[in-house]
Amino acid sequence: MTNMRGRSREGGFIAGLGGDRSIATAVGVCFVLLLVGLVAGCGGGAGTTSSTEPVTQMVSIPPAGSPDKMSVHLDRTKPDQVQWSNTGDEPVQIVFLQGGLTIDVPAHGQSRVVAVSEFGGRGSFPYHVKRAGGSMAAQEAGVDTVGGPGDPDIDVGP
């Protein structure tokens, strides 16, 4: 049997479907199914991270000098957290200039994990690293509560 264009509908590319339009439809359906399969395969698996899993940022404190990250950015809408690692031979103390939060970091050790919720909201939270035997008299007296441009800080955003 032939169609209006003089082509045989029998024994075509896909037998039983007939015509160029049916072939295009079948190819289109296969393409859509392939895309759906690819998208579904990318949606989740053993190697993916969900937005509800905590993300811990590590800040390394060398034996002398400033921390390796002068500013740590945390997102308050996620369970972000920060932790300090001390590579020196003496313990250090992280002293925040606002709110009275202090965190002890043992020699060659790590601090406790500090959740973004402990900072109490959005803003910049500067801190000083108090080293054993070091003086922080000005900050202990409450003189420096804002921090300067060279101070490390935790920046809590949206």
DSSP code per residue over the chain: -B-TTS-BSTT-SSTTT-HHHHHHHHHHHHHHHHHHHHHHHHS--TT---TTS--EEEEEE-SSS--S-SEEEEETTTT-EEEEEE-SSS-EEEEESSTT-EEEE-TTSB---EEGGGG-SSEEEEEEEEETT---HHHHTT--SS--TTS-EEEEE-
User: Which of 6-15, 34-43, 44-53, 98-107 reaches the highest mean pLDDT?
Assistant: 98-107
CA distance 26 to 4: 21
pLDDT (0 to 100) of residue 93: 94
| Residue of higher predicted confidence among 106 and 141 | 106
Question: Which of 2-11, 111-120, 132-141 has the least mean pLDDT?
Answer: 132-141
pLDDT, tens digit, 9 for 90 and up, residues 36-69:
555 555 544 444 445 678 889 999 999 888 898 8
The pTM for the full model equals 0.59
pLDDT (0 to 100) of residue 120: 83
pLDDT (0 to 100) of residue 137: 41
- For the chain, give the mean pLDDT: 75
